Amino acid sequence: MKIAISGKGGVGKSTIAGALALYFAQKGNKVLALDADPDANLARALGIPDEEQKNIVPISRQIALIEERTGAKVAQYGQIFKMNPEVKDVADGYAYPYKGVSLLVLGAIKAGGSGCACPENTFIKALVTDLVLYKNETLIMDMEAGIEHLGRATASGVDVMIVVVEPGQRSVDCAKTILRMTKEIGLKNVVLVGNKAANQADEDFIRDSLPGQEIITILPYSEAVRSADRDGKSVLDGNDAVLSAKLQQLFAKIEDI
């Protein structure tokens, strides 16, 4: 199964991505977790200790690898480089293993903007395409606030896009933009997950703001998640009974898709 997770920054994408990755790993699946958000937080959601996180080098900073595979120097302009670099071995060689999950962090492209026709961007897009279309692992993709790394070529390989939304107008506006973008690239199976609902009014706001959209569950605001983050625990190690029950509901519905 290939699952992409998007939404406005801070809504809890990494929390949900980490929970899904750990859940499928505990079931015995071979899981690849892809952190495609420039503000990378998935390692922390998985509970990887700080001292181990220092050993995780984002793909965008693997300069020697990018230059070798594209045939061009990073951060130099006016070059000819390979548009289809070899990437099929990258996940096996550069992912960081932890509790049955292999974490691959893309990192941010600093030069030329996110859409630059540069070796780094070309390499990362080729990598994402390979992971989505050709790998057999359960793939959990923690996306940035949009679908920057997806396109028409990869949309057919994504089984479901989860758009996370919290009870706030900016989050709702971002969700609506993402929903429009998914239609433009032909990504058909898109569902919403509400998060950080403190009360019934929050739940009603999310549902009323997105009429006609499938909201598969609304997760409650949880002090346990905040405490788990503070204490360096994983999402699944630090939740309370109410959140745990809601997460199990989320897992079951995703598996049914």
Sheet holding 101-105, edge to edge: 96-98, 101-105, 31-35, 138-142, 2-7, 160-165, 190-197, 215-220
| Tens digit of each residue's pLDDT (9 = 90 or more) over 146-168 | 888 888 889 999 999 999 999 99
| Tens digit of each residue's pLDDT (9 = 90 or more) over 46-80 | 999 999 999 999 999 999 999 999 998 876 666 77
Residue 22 has what pLDDT? 97
Would you identify the CATH topology of the domain 2-256?
Answer: Rossmann fold (3.40.50)
Residue 119 has what pLDDT? 83
DSSP string of 51-81, one letter each residue: HHHTT---GGG-HHHHHHHHSS-TT--S---
Model pTM greater than 0.95? no
Q: Which of 74-78, 234-238, 242-246 has the lowest mean pLDDT?
A: 74-78
Instruction: Between 116 and 248, name the one with better pLDDT.
Output: 248
CB contact set of 96 (below 8 Å; sequence gap of 6+): 43, 48, 52, 55, 56, 102, 103, 104, 105
Candidate ranges 107-116, 118-127, 212-221; pick with highest mean pLDDT: 212-221
Residue 76 has what pLDDT? 67
CB contact set of 217 (below 8 Å; sequence gap of 6+): 193, 194, 246, 249, 250, 253
Average pLDDT over residues 221-246: 88
Average pLDDT, the chain: 91
| C-alpha to C-alpha distance for 226 and 195, rounded to whole angstroms | 13
Reply yes or no on whether the pLDDT at 92 is more than 90.
yes
